[in-house]
Amino acid sequence: MASTLLWVLAGVLLYSVVATALSTQGLLPEWVRVSGPITTLHTERGKAVLDRLARPKRFWRAWANVGLGVTLVVMVGSFVLVIFSAVTILKRPSSTIITEPQDALVIPGVNQFLPLSVAPEIVLGLLVGLVVHEGGHGLLCRVEDIGIASMGLALITLIPMGAFVEPDEEEQQRAERGAQTRMFAAGVTNNFAITIIAFALLFGPVVGSIAVVPGVPVGGALPGTPAAEAGIGEGTVITGVAGQNVTNASDLDGALADANRTVSVSLSNGTTTTVERSLVVTRAVRNGPTGLGKGATITAVNGSQVSTESGFTAALENRTVATLRTANGSTTTAPMGAYASRITPDGPLSNATGQGGQSVVITRFAGERITNTSALSAALSETSPGEEVRVEVYVNGERTTHQVTLGENPRTGSGLLGVSGLQQGTTGIVVDDFGIDIYPAAGYLAALGGEGGAGGGSALLGVLAVLTLPFASVAVPGASYNFAGFVGSNIDFYTVAGPLEFLGGGVFVLANVLFWVGWVNLNLGFFNCIPAFPLDGGHILRTSTEAIVSRLPVGSRRTLTGAVTTAVSLTMLAALVLMVFGPSLLSG
């Protein structure tokens, strides 16, 4: 991708040099103007259409006033959000979704979150967004009797990227402050209106015609695991295990728990495959048991053969220290329990052991054998703050037992042991006897307004959920996959059923178009609300500041207005630069 991006940049640079040279020599028509890689085609045609559309002036002024109110609220919110994000990045560069500068560009294939498969929908969203945005400016120009110098098409090199409207600068300056403000807010208002329409259709009849297919959708098989060896991979849907029907992850876990080492697996395409289960380490902490890194296969515990997760847990039940043998013949002996990277200083366990800050393996809690982190979490959920429990721990390989007075967990209200950095699995080792990564097909459909509802019934939460879907793997805790629409292998996880069933696969195309048109217009509206020049938010900041300063008993009102708008714009520019380039620079 790096070489492709280099060729694209070289082509853009060459175009800019040649086009600028032709423009300087006067070899281009007057209606073609070049500014670096941006080419604009100007015309005065279409003014009559805008004049006709602008005739119900009272309606359009009312529409613009409503939009202006929304825009001002979003402007304040965007100012606070941009500043907060920039400060957060200074403190924690890894806290942002944008980890590389190219991720700020809405270019499929360049932005790591936007696949090329949805390029047509994203380009359509941009075209719709820019046309309605600039059309809003042009319409309000005529409503407010501001002349239009020209209008036309904007291109990046030779690729059309939207329309533009160029107001007559002198008439714009002579217009009333309120008229100018409404004109600048009109584009953003139209973007938000398109977003509402697109998402209303998406959340309603379109997603209402999409359902998840029965079975367990497989996003991928973990390398080296039994499922991968059996050919179960991306796009597969598991419908049965060992003769039992499975419709979700819980069914799959239950069927595997009851099955033998060799298990038959039925797939949605009508085929059946055989999986020879074995315990593969899929995750391991750096300072965990020696020789049990990612990809190792555990074959025995304390001399007893194991090949399943349930067998592994059962073999550890009566021994807090176990010897594990791997497929290559190596062995390692270590305490087996819940691993935490740190005993919280001044916490309940630290007060009992006097070893705050150390890593720890908890092997018994309140008389119960703790074989993994899930068992510890379940045991803690049954306790209360102030309760005294006996806890067996291993610190630096040394076993000790302590009476611990539990604190209070602020999130759940149950007992708090006082450890941080709890790792999944047993002593920081996660094993898998099957090896699939389940795709959250039902969860993504629910976020789009399907079964379960968008945002749990809240329209605002539903929109926020949709905004994060393309970045789900980094924005949503526990998510493994981004959702760019119904594309690629994930289409196999859904079926068409409902009011639009007659469209067949066209429902997926329509859903993708509405998803990206709404997503792009919402982001385009938010971006233009940032109070910085030359964005619409910067112009509205100027007119709003003028309105406030005009009422103040100060001498040079123009100077004060300029100082305020310049300060805010420069602050926003610095914060945006930090948001885009800060993570890669500060992390290095």
Q: Which two tokens stand for residue 6?
A: 């280099």
Mean pLDDT value across residues 300-305: 92
Q: Report the pLDDT value the prediction gives residue 95, as an integer from 0 to 100.
A: 61
For tokens 């509206």, the residue is 525
Distance from C-alpha of 427 to C-alpha of 290, rounded to nearest angstrom? 11
> Phi/psi at 96 (nearest 5 deg)?
-105, 155
Can the peptide bond before residue 37 be classed as cis, meaning omega within 30 degrees of 0? no
Write the CA distances from 330 to 325, 334, 348, 540, integer angstroms.
6, 14, 38, 70
Residue ranges of E strands in 126-261: 148-156, 159-167, 210-212, 216-221, 237-241, 244-245
Q: Minimal CA–CA distance to 133: which of 539, 540, 525, 467?
A: 525
pLDDT tens digits for range 195-249: 999 999 998 899 999 999 999 999 988 888 899 999 998 989 999 998 899 988 8
Contact 417, 387 (CB under 8 A): no
Q: Report the pLDDT value the prediction gives residue 338, as an integer from 0 to 100.
A: 95
pLDDT tens digits for range 479-490: 788 888 898 888
Task: Please determine, for residue 107, whether its predicted confidence score (pLDDT) is greater than 70.
Answer: no
Q: Report the pLDDT value the prediction gives residue 161, as an integer from 0 to 100.
A: 62
Q: Which CATH architecture has domain 335-422?
A: Roll (2.30)
Q: Which helix H or strand E contains 364, and what residues bound it? A: strand 360-365
Distance from C-alpha of 301 to C-alpha of 158, rounded to nearest angstrom? 66
Model's pTM, two decimal places? 0.79
Percent pLDDT > 90 in the chain is 40
Kindly report the average pLDDT of the chain as a whole number.
86
The more confidently predicted of residues 156 and 414 is 414
Task: Please determine, for residue 86, whether its predicted confidence score (pLDDT) is greater than 80.
Answer: yes
DSSP letters spanning 486-526: S-GGGGGGEEE-STTGGGTTHHHHHHHHHHHHHHHHHHHHH
8-state DSSP, 423: P
Which residues sit opposite 37 in a β-bridge? none
Parse the chain into domains and list their residue ranges: 1-36, 223-277, 335-422
Task: Please determine, for residue 436, whether its predicted confidence score (pLDDT) is greater than 60.
Answer: yes
Mean pLDDT value across residues 77-84: 88
Q: Report the pLDDT value the prediction gives residue 486, as an integer from 0 to 100.
A: 92
Q: Does this chain's domain 223-277 share its CATH topology with 335-422? A: yes
The more confidently predicted of residues 587 and 91 is 91
Q: Report the pLDDT value the prediction gives residue 343, as an integer from 0 to 100.
A: 93
pLDDT tens digits for range 438-476: 999 988 898 887 765 444 445 666 677 778 888 887 777
Q: Which CATH architecture has domain 223-277?
A: Roll (2.30)
pLDDT band at 332 (very low <50, low <70, confident <90, very high): very high
